[in-house]
Amino acid sequence: MWLPRLLVLAFALVLPSAVQAEPLLRGPHPFLRDNALEVRGGFAHAGFFGGPRLAVSYGYAAAGSLWLDLSAGLVDGGGPLAVRDKCACADHLNTYADVLAGISYRLRTSLPLVPYGKVAGGLLTFFPERSPRGAGLGARGAAGARWYLYDWLGFGLEVGTVLGFTGLERWTASGVDTGLRGGMWLWEAGVTVDVQF
């Protein structure tokens, strides 16, 4: 788990020098920059698996409040914080990953609070413990809000859902329930950090 520590260290080194140079935002977010990097962490659950979720997104301001988004994320379904189906199944999902592309709409308000909505679609990949990995397509919708302390730094909350198919087999050749599913409905909730540049 060296990546979260590295991100915290980099953030701790950059933040003090940037904060000394500019005052806190008091009015609407100015949207002065065209690029944004978002890190999102939280929890996801899909019925037959669940666990901590981490995602990284890149956003580009296409026109006004409309942004193009690319994201990559994963859910740890095999770690100590994972949630598993209670059935006596032949298999369990270790990891779920997605790579999605879509759009987001960032609402402009008179405060430095920015509500937003996102829709995206793309490739879903599943890594079970014992079965061959599965790949499918899915769509994600999300909504959230961020409070910007500076014109380049915002913190927020986001909830979302992913619908898709997994490409995994529910039954083995001998008729045993694997515990895996061919379709998926995942819900997630987490916190976000948005850095614009």
pLDDT (0 to 100) of residue 15: 58
104: its two tokens:
């987001």
146 touches 111 (CB < 8 A):
no
Instruction: State pTM to two decimals.
Output: 0.83
Provide the residue ranges of all domains of the chain, joining segments of one domain with +. Answer: 32-196
SS (H, E, C) 121-150: EEEEEEEECCCCCEEEEEEEEEEEEEEEEE
User: Position of tokens 């730094």?
Assistant: 153
Q: Going residue by residue through the chain (197 aa), what tens digit of pLDDT does each one get?
A: 555 565 566 666 655 555 556 789 988 999 999 999 999 999 999 988 899 999 999 999 999 899 999 999 999 988 777 776 666 676 788 899 999 999 999 999 999 999 999 999 999 999 988 888 899 999 999 999 999 999 999 999 999 999 999 988 888 777 777 778 889 999 999 999 999 99
Q: Give the contacts of 103 (CB within 8 A, at least 6 positions apart).
A: 62, 66, 67, 68, 69, 118, 119, 120
CA dihedral sign, ordered 75, 77, 80, 85? positive
35 touches 59 (CB < 8 A):
yes
Return the ∠ at Cα 68 (arms to 71 and 35), rounded to 5°.
Answer: 85
Query: Strand pairing of 93-106 and 66-76?
Result: antiparallel
Domain covering 32-196 assigned CATH 2.40.160.20 in the classification = yes
151: its two tokens:
């014109």
Name residue 15's amino acid: L
